[in-house]
């Protein structure tokens, strides 16, 4: 088995046809030629190399967050739109709706968070853990949801992952200890972690930093923490 995954960063995260994001280039003859050229290229041996998850394009609009290319993502992953939506709503701990090719979530969520959720979904519900390929299907066996791989024939139960860096929402109580990954920085210079409807403030936290914190105070959706040695 080839093992050519590039360990650093995310291989081929960018869409392989950059023009896809721009309506104008869709009719560009160059684009057409490029597509034609691609279609004549022999298939790469590693499916993973031609598989790319579209970068989530989301923006905050009023009190909601719009995921503009929701349908495109679901279609690329070849997963049911409702299934993807249910996952996103569950992880964000909010309500929302599918609106044509977009998804709309109640609440303000940063693009980085939406993107990391799409990546989690891809890992959990799309990529075969045996061979790393995306040529899989979700099948129900008794009551267990299985990810079955068409490429290697492998299958595994879908993990009901409750957090590597995203703890479940009911852990948000005063005195609780959490391991979190700082997502951004507030205007006052505190690290920020969004968890469902909660916003955690981590004193001195920097984006990407993994920290252990204790919740000192919960005020509505605002959560204050202190850092612990991890």
- The residues that touch Zn ion, with contacts defined as CB under 5 A, are 128, 130-131, 149, 151-152, 154
Residues ≥6 apart with Cβ < 8 Å to 221: 197, 198, 199
Q: Which helix (H) or strand (E) holds 64?
A: strand 64-67
Q: Which is nearer to Zn ion, 2 or 222 (CB)?
A: 2
- In the bound complex, what is the minimum distance in angstroms from residue 130's beta carbon to Zn ion? 4
Tokens linked to 109 = 């969520």
- In the bound complex, what is the minimum distance in angstroms from residue 133's beta carbon to Zn ion? 5
Q: Which is nearer to Zn ion, 47 or 218 (CB)?
A: 47
Within 10 Å of residue 25's Cβ, how many Cβ atoms? Answer: 14
Q: Which is nearer to Zn ion, 14 or 141 (CB)?
A: 141
Answer whether 67's CB lies under 8 Å from 59's CB.
no
- In the bound complex, what is the minimum distance in angstroms from residue 119's beta carbon to Zn ion? 19
Phi/psi for 65 (5° steps) reads -120, 130
d(CA 218, CA 221): 7
- In the bound complex, what is the minimum distance in angstroms from residue 227's beta carbon to Zn ion? 41
Q: Which is nearer to Zn ion, 152 or 218 (CB)?
A: 152
- In the bound complex, what is the minimum distance in angstroms from residue 146's beta carbon to Zn ion? 12
- With tokens 């891809």, the residue in question is 122
Q: Which is nearer to Zn ion, 138 or 152 (CB)?
A: 152
For the chain, counts of helices (H) and of strands (E): 5, 13
- With tokens 């739109």, the residue in question is 81
């Amino acid at each position: 088995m080839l093992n050519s995954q590039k360990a650093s960063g995310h291989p081929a995260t960018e869409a392989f046809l950059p023009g896809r994001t721009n309506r104008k280039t869709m009719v560009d003859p160059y684009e057409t030629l490029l597509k034609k050229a691609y279609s004549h290229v022999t298939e790469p041996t590693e499916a993973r190399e031609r598989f790319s998850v579209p970068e989530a394009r989301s923006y905050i609009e009023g009190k909601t967050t719009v995921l503009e290319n929701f349908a495109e993502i679901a279609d690329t992953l070849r997963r049911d739109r409702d299934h993807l939506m249910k996952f996103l709503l569950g992880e964000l701990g909010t309500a929302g709706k599918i609106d044509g090719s977009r998804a709309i979530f109640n609440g303000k969520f940063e693009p980085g968070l939406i993107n990391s959720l799409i990546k989690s979904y891809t890992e959990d519900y799309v990529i075969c853990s045996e061979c790393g390929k995306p040529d899989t299907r979700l099948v129900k066996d008794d009551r267990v949801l299985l990810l079955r791989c068409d490429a290697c024939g492998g299958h595994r139960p879908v993990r009901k992952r409750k957090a590597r860096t995203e703890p479940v929402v009911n852990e948000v109580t005063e005195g609780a200890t959490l391991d979190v990954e700082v997502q951004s920085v507030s205007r006052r210079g505190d690290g920020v972690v969004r968890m469902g409807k909660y916003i955690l403030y981590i004193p001195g936290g920097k984006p990407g930093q993994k920290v252990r914190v204790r919740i000192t105070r919960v005020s509505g959706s605002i959560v204050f923490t202190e850092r612990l040695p991890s």
